[in-house]
Amino acid sequence: MASPRLLIVCGSAGDALAREVLSEFDDAFDVSQGIYRLSGTSSMEDLEQLAANADCAILASTREEILGGRTKAAIAAHDSLLFALGILVARLGARHCFVLADSIDAKTFLPAERFGVRIEYVSGAAHERTNRFDKACSAIRRRLVSSCKAKHANHATLRCKTINDRLELSARAASLPSTPEDIRAFLFGVESNDLICMGAWSLHKRCEDINVLQFNAKEHADLAVIKAWRMRQVQAAKIPRPSQAALAKDIKVEPGLKFVLAAPVVVGPTIWGVVDFDTTTASGAKILASPSALTVVLKLAEQIAQIVEARS
């Protein structure tokens, strides 16, 4: 497979940081498009065209651009950063975009994580900054290589609407004859040694973020979704367990889960991913422990596998 095509974007004040990124990634990525600098004369149409010819992107931003300011120039720089982020996510997908920020205030002033985009920070004293920059670039490199491989393997060809429709219909079917007040449905894709959330459906607001929620095979080996993947069979688990509360602090999961029912998505000889239903109520747990729920989750896994195979 050809090297992933990386687009690096920065504001007028982030040129130095962007050049550091370019030199760090030019060994394993195609960076022939160079650095696109946002300015008063830059065109968002030009950025869209560049993004159309890229597989992934890094937005390098400075404290001044993130925080904005009271002057027209500062406000314009901040707005350009937001527009650029929106274009990159819309064109490439959240899993293929990163923000590298030299300000710890980035989370407050850039809604990147609401889009499912991770922010890595490199701020601090000189010796701290070097260490943080190296760690941030290593984390970004690892995730981009993984996500780009998945993209070329057709993970990215699944349409969100198709996924959500399947998840919703299955959650409703599992809840019959009741309405699916208590049942939530999730789809996870296998990427290297991780499961990454690719789709979710529930009637109520959830804390888990698509493209952000991620479980590691070793660190979260006792979770039902990991067991379904590694053991290649359906897993039903009563919650809570101490391990559920002991997840890494940066992983957001519903704290009140009572039951999880998970099934592997088998495509050919491999496990492509996992589907699961979960619930926070006793009535929902009773539903998910029933034979009918087992039938539905197996059917959902089969349907997702058919979609994947059809788009291979």
Domains of the chain: 6-152 (3.40.50), 156-310 (3.30.450.40)
Indicate the range of 9-13, 147-151, 278-282, 293-297 predicted with least confidence: 147-151
pLDDT attached to residue 135: 84
Contact of 194 with 215, CB cutoff 8 Å = yes
pLDDT at 13 over 50: yes
The predicted-structure confidence for 108-124, as pLDDT tens digits, reads as follows 556 665 666 777 877 66
Predicted TM-score (pTM) of the model is 0.52
Q: Which strands, in side-by-side order, build the sheet including 56-61? A: 35-37, 6-10, 56-61, 97-101, 118-121
Distances (CA, A) of 265 to 218, 237, 286: 20, 18, 24
Higher pLDDT, 243 or 76: 76
Q: Please tell me the total number of residues recorded for the chain in this structure.
A: 312
And the tokens for 19? Answer: 């050049």
pLDDT attached to residue 137: 86
pLDDT attached to residue 300: 92
